[in-house]
Amino acid sequence: MNDRFLEGRTALVTGSTSGIGLAIACRLAAHGARVALNGLGTHEQIDAAATAVRVAGAPDARHFAADLRDPAQIETMMAEVASWSAIDVLVNNAGIQHAVPIADMPVTKWNDILAINLSAAFHTMRLALPGMAGRGYGRVVNIASVHGLVASKDKAPYVASKFGVIGLGKVAALEYAAAGSRDSGGVTVNCICPGWVETPLIEPQVEARRNGGSREDGVRALLAEKQPSLRMSLPEDIGAMAAWLCRREAHNVTGTAMPIDGGWTAQ
């Protein structure tokens, strides 16, 4: 890939040591971005993620640790990244889930899910957006979910957090809509709302629905409940959308919540 339109720019991607976050980091790297990684894992896993991002094309990639439940740690991380390189692209991807009925939901799980999925995005945005506006270019891409557009039972804190991050993004998009110019690229804030995505986490659900058939049979049975396309997205598909939103031509695409859900929310 030789379209390095992010050359000279820096991206921070939270939750980027594996899965969708790592795929986004690699895609931004392929377009020339320097990448600040944040996420959980062993030293070996973190090193492997940074290596993958460099191999994808990043001039540099470093890991910045922070417990995203803690605003003070987020502030420290943001200051450390900014001292390394000013943040031009912010991708809030980190998220957790716990699925049980409301009456059985532990209060600690509610607090942790809201903190990581929603409050952390608020803290990174409030710290990154003023600098983006001052430079005339900035991109915030929040990885929400199809569950930021429609609900499912047993996921109260997850659904609440994803609806919240979409609303938060719309407010920020309005506040920064006039920053920069068409030539500089402006400052935009958008959400991507994936449906089913191919990650190791879904394998037990696929296996449970095979009924002696192939893995593809299991996938189709799983998706038939919600996703009319009957096929999952790849993490790389989410990365491609995130990268497109960073293009200068996307300067007037702001305040959106873009489903990548195979028709789930069209029903």
Phi-psi region of 78 (alpha: psi -120 to 50; beta: other; left: phi over 0): alpha
Please state the domain count of the chain: 2
**What is the CA angle 16-199-11, rounded to 5?**
20
**Is there a single domain that holds both residue 102 and residue 211?**
no
- Strands of the sheet containing 10-14, edge to edge, are 61-63, 34-38, 10-14, 89-92, 137-143, 186-194, 257-260
Over residues 202-226, mean pLDDT: 91
Predicted local distance difference test score (pLDDT) of residue 225: 85
Residue 2 pLDDT exceeds 80: no
**Is there a single domain that holds both residue 133 and residue 45?**
yes
Predicted local distance difference test score (pLDDT) of residue 144: 98
**Is there a single domain that holds both residue 227 and residue 149?**
no
Predicted local distance difference test score (pLDDT) of residue 202: 85
Q: Which residues are catalytic?
A: 158
Write out the residue range of the structural domain in which residue 220 sits.
199-232
**Is there a single domain that holds both residue 158 and residue 213?**
no
Predicted local distance difference test score (pLDDT) of residue 200: 82
Q: What is the pLDDT of residues 18-54, one digit of tens each?
A: 999 999 999 999 999 999 999 999 999 999 999 999 9
Long-range contacts formed by 171-177: CB under 8 A, 24+ apart: 172/125, 172/129, 172/140, 173/254, 173/255, 174/255, 175/129, 176/129, 176/132, 176/133, 176/138, 176/254, 177/254, 177/255
Write down the mean pLDDT value for the chain.
96
Percent of the chain surpassing pLDDT 70: 99
**Is there a single domain that holds both residue 243 and residue 209?**
no
**Is there a single domain that holds both residue 91 and residue 178?**
yes
Over residues 229-252, mean pLDDT: 97
